[in-house]
């Protein structure tokens, strides 16, 4: 008997974002914090998919008959040859963990002389859905945009690029779109939500069949 869905992250911003969308589709979700789980999974993979699989398998082993969602996201900036990629938090030297503000300022510094026409970038999310039988299914989402020349005052904890990443297709900053209620998004799905939307029919199928 499935006990529901666990979203394997300790990032409160991610829990809020994904929870809103899942609830919109009538799917309940809990976080590790809700269950009193304290699990730190080293992201030692060399790709987004490897890291997502590492996280989902670690939480599956502790989740007691729950579906488990885990994801990894990278930002690829065209003018920086795809940096920072999967190393957003360790962008500066590959080792030292950076805070949100440090990441914002580091990005602006690296791109200070790059004109707007060359500031294209994309977010890429790989979402892993772990089943109680230990099988893992993969879903992907991509969102194109541009990096602004100056950061917006808006801040969302755990999401440094929400104040820098402008989605031309929406005419809106990613952070402003993130604050819209699920019912008002009008198709404005970010990279993580695009991946999740692909997974939702499968999640519903699994939940309803148990």
Range of lowest pLDDT (67-71, 126-130, 136-140, 177-181): 177-181
Residue in the block written with tokens 């297709």: 169
Neighbours of 87 (CB within 10 A): 16
Task: Give per-residue pLDDT as tens, 10-38.
Answer: 888 788 888 888 888 889 899 999 988 88
Task: Give per-residue pLDDT as tens, 79-110.
Answer: 999 999 999 999 998 889 999 999 999 999 99
pLDDT score for 175: 92
Q: Which domains occur in the chain, in start order?
A: 5-208 (3.90.950.10)
pLDDT score for 65: 83
Out of 71, 72, 100, 151, the active site residue is 72
The mean pLDDT value of the chain amounts to: 91
Of residues 182 and 73, more confidently modeled: 73
CB neighbour list of residue 153: distance below 8 Å, 6 or more residues apart: 163
What backbone torsions phi and psi does residue 60 show, to the nearest 5 degrees? -60, -40
- Nearest Cα neighbor of 109 from 150, 58, 142, 141 is 150
pLDDT score for 84: 97
Coil/strand/helix, residue 60: helix
Q: Which helix (H) or strand (E) holds 201?
A: helix 191-208
pLDDT score for 99: 96
DSSP label of 11: -
pLDDT score for 18: 84
Whole-prediction pTM value?
0.88
**Pairing mode, if any, of strands 67-77 and 5-7?**
parallel
DSSP label of 126: E
Q: Exposed (0-12), middle (13-18) or buried (19+): which is 42, by Cβ within 10 Å?
A: exposed
Q: With beta carbons less than 8 A apart as the criterion, state whether 21 and 15 touch.
A: no
Is pLDDT above 70 for 1? no
Task: Give per-residue pLDDT as tens, 196-205.
Answer: 999 999 999 8
Half-sphere exposure of 51 (CA within 13 A, CB side): 18
Neighbours of 175 (CB within 10 A): 21
Catalytic (active site) residue 113? no
């Amino acid at each position: 008997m499935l006990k529901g869905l666990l979203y394997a992250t300790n990032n409160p911003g991610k829990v809020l974002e994904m929870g809103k969308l899942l609830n919109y589709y009538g799917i309940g979700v809990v976080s590790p914090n809700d269950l009193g789980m304290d699990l730190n999974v080293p992201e030692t993979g060399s790709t987004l998919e490897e890291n997502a699989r590492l996280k989902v398998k670690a939480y599956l082993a502790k989740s007691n008959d729950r579906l488990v969602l885990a994801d990894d996201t990278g930002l690829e900036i065209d003018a920086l040859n795809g940096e920072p990629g999967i190393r957003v938090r360790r962008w500066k030297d590959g080792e030292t963990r950076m805070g949100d503000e440090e990441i914002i300022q580091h990005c602006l510094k690296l791109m200070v002389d790059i004109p707007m026409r060359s500031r294209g970038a994309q977010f890429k999310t790989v979402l892993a859905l772990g089943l109680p039988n230990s099988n893992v299914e993969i879903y992907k989402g991509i969102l194109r945009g541009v990096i602004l020349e100056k950061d917006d005052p808006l801040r969302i904890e755990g999401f440094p690029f929400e104040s820098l990443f402008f989605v031309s297709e929406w005419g809106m900053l990613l952070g402003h779109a993130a604050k819209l209620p699920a019912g008002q998004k009008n198709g404005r799905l970010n990279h993580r939500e695009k991946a999740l939307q692909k997974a939702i029919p499968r999640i519903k199928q699994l939940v309803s069949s148990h």
